[in-house]
Amino acid sequence: MNYLDLAMDAALSLGAEYADIRIQKTTDQVVSMRNLSLKNADIRIIDGYGIRIFKDGAWGFAHNNVFSKEAVIKAVNRAYEIACLSAKVNKDKKLKLAPERSYIASFKTPLKVDSFDVPLSQKVEMMMDVNSIMMAFDGIAQTNFNLIMHKDEKLFASTLGTRLEINHQFIDPVITATAIHGGDSQSRTFDEGGRAVGWEWIESMDLNEKAKQIAEEALIKVKADALGPEERRTLILDPNHLGLTMHESVGHPTELDRVLGWEADYAGISFATPEKLKNYQYGSKIVNFMGDNTLEGGLATMGFDDDGVPGQKWHIIKDGILNEYGSTRDTAMEIGLNYSRGCNRATYYYDQPINRIPNLYLMPGKEKLSLGQLIADTEDGVYIQGRGSFSIDQHRVNFQFGGDFFWEIKNGKLHRPLKKVLYKSSNPEFWNSCDAICDERFWRPFGVVNCGKGQPSQTARMTHGASPARFRNIRVGGSQ
């Protein structure tokens, strides 16, 4: 049965102005090991379809997991009825959809070895080796290894005539060592945030060596000094850490639905309002952010979004100036754009797609600059690696971040390890304080696989990237 055509024909015959169907099968394999106890080894399958109908300036969305002609038609009817109900409320505030052409296309995440084809026994053996290495260190009280493999197989059809077949997958290994010493407990984590690649990525990393490193660093961290009271200092942030900082302070504020107030009741709104486009000094002149859903290995690189709009690459911040948003077909028209940047994504078949952060990265510095040179050029500061505590206000202005590993810098050298370091800053102070970015040799991508947003809540994934960068005159100190 061709459910795609069935649904689209039924939607058109009801009078839909636009409709689409997304048949989506999501498969997750999650393997979790705590010390040498296998806490979870499972495969989860979520399979069904969601039908969106646009009528009189409003959406209706219905989903089901039953694959039959009757069930599909019932879902189309339900989506249509819901759209009509919504349209009565929207009579003075009709949504509009940005123009889009039709596509017949397919996309498959490029990979050499499908991680779902690798036997569980091989995965478990690797995880036990890693945890055993960490547990052998005196003072390591707990080790955790979580391995997530995720696959989305989607068929998409719209009344524009678009027909898409998309197979997207990613893998995410996260390894943590927790040390206890002198009444304190501190963790160190290896987490690249996931990448849309195959098992070959795991094989290219020496995870046993990473395990040794994070166990050693957890022990260094738990015995390290805490930083004293807050003072203005220089920060050097590594690409992994910056991935989370840019996610919260650039990615979310430049989602157009937030800018429009569509997330006002839950995830919040944005200070980066439309009158600031093309004139607001978001960052210093060396700060350039790209939205790029064509990035190789990117978690949001899937050929097309769930509006059927192709992946694109564009400046979100150009030479420090707010340039453009991440948009969808229904948000773009609200600010007079007649195109979408293809940022509409849903998590599962039963989720209505919403405006999401694209792959978003900080461009490397144009001048040749290594991390060693950057540290050597810093008289007094703190170097932060990895991700820790993070919190930002609902307009995306004020924030406080921790990290995973910290070094104090004195006279151009790593002076002593630290723990419990926090920094506080705000937009636009933070990105305007960026005075140096290492060059492209040091640029690294890092994913985010747990971006929560929306009501009902959804979890999206995207990739960020950066070279190490320096920020001046930031408030840095211990907790409390």
Partner 1 sequence: MKTEDIRRFITDNVSADDFSCLIREIDSHETRFAQNGITQHLAGPKMSITLSLSFGKKSGSSSTNQSDEKSLRELIKTAEDIARLAPEDPEHIPSAKEMKLPKGENLSQATLSLTPETMVDIVQRSIDKARAMDAQVSGMCEKHHFKLCMFTKNGFNGTDEFSSFGHSMTLKKGEVETKVSYDSKDYAGFDLDSLFARLASQAEALREMKSFDAQKIAVILRPAALMELLWYMGWMLNRRQSDEGFTPFTGMLDQQCFGELFNFSSTRTKAEITANSFITGWGMPEGIPAMETTWVENGVLKNMPTSRYWAEKTDAKPSGIFNMYIQGGDTSEEEMMKMVPRGLIINRFWYIRPVDMKRGELTGMTRDGVLYFEDGKVKHAVNNLRFNEIPHEMTQRILALGKEELASASAIIPTALIKDFNFVDKTNF
Nearest-approach distance from CB 306 to partner 1, in angstroms: 13
Contacts of residue 198, Cβ cutoff 8 Å, sequence gap at least 6: 109, 111, 112, 113, 114, 115, 169, 171
Closest CA to 64 of 350, 300, 313: 350
Q: Does 228 bind partner 1 (CB under 8 A)?
A: no
State which amino acid sits at residue 419: K
State which amino acid sits at residue 477: G
Residues 337-356, one symbol each (x = binds partner 1 by CB under 8 A, - = not), give -------------x-x-x--
Q: Work out which of 6, 12, 14, 41 binds partner 1, going by CB under 8 A.
A: 41
Please calculate the CA angle 274-280-282 and round it to the nearest 5 degrees: 110
Ramachandran angles phi, psi of 280, nearest 5°: -90, 125
Number of residues this chain uses to bind partner 1 (CB under 8 A): 80
DSSP state of 320: T
404/422 Cα distance (integer angstroms): 11
Taking the least distance from each CB to partner 1, the nearer of 260 and 462 is 260
259/273 Cα distance (integer angstroms): 6
Q: Give the helix, strand, coil percentages of the chain, each rounded to 5.
A: 25, 40, 35
Which single residue is written with the structure tokens 């999650």? 30
Nearest-approach distance from CB 411 to partner 1, in angstroms: 30
79/60 Cα distance (integer angstroms): 5
Q: Does 216 bind partner 1 (CB under 8 A)?
A: no
Q: Work out which of 115, 131, 146, 178 binds partner 1, going by CB under 8 A.
A: 178
Nearest-approach distance from CB 329 to partner 1, in angstroms: 13
Please calculate the CA angle 15-19-20 and round it to the nearest 5 degrees: 155
Nearest-approach distance from CB 448 to partner 1, in angstroms: 15
Q: Work out which of 102, 185, 450, 473 binds partner 1, going by CB under 8 A.
A: 185
Q: Pairing between strand 140-158 and 104-108?
A: unpaired
Taking the least distance from each CB to partner 1, the nearer of 56 and 296 is 56
Taking the least distance from each CB to partner 1, the nearer of 312 and 426 is 426
Q: Which of residues 384-443 bind partner 1 (CB under 8 A)?
A: 389-395, 397-398, 400, 402, 420, 422, 424, 426
Q: Does 137 bind partner 1 (CB under 8 A)?
A: no
328/445 Cα distance (integer angstroms): 24
Q: Which of residues 61-90 bind partner 1 (CB under 8 A)?
A: 61-65, 75, 78, 81-83, 85-86, 88-90
Q: Which of residues 268-307 bind partner 1 (CB under 8 A)?
A: 268
Taking the least distance from each CB to partner 1, the nearer of 36 and 376 is 36
Which single residue is written with the structure tokens 């705000």? 426
From the number of C-beta atoms within 10 Å of its C-beta (0-12, 13-18, 19+), residue 474 rates as buried
Q: Which of residues 111-130 bind partner 1 (CB under 8 A)?
A: 119-121, 124, 128
Q: Does 255 bind partner 1 (CB under 8 A)?
A: no
Q: Which of residues 354-373 bind partner 1 (CB under 8 A)?
A: 354
Taking the least distance from each CB to partner 1, the nearer of 203 and 393 is 393
Span near partner 1 by CB under 8 A; candidates 192-200, 255-263, 291-299, 435-443: 255-263
Residues 186-215, one symbol each (x = binds partner 1 by CB under 8 A, - = not), give x-----------------------------
Nearest-approach distance from CB 356 to partner 1, in angstroms: 14
| DSSP-based three-state secondary structure for 94 | coil
Closest CA to 387 of 439, 464, 300: 464
Nearest-approach distance from CB 458 to partner 1, in angstroms: 11
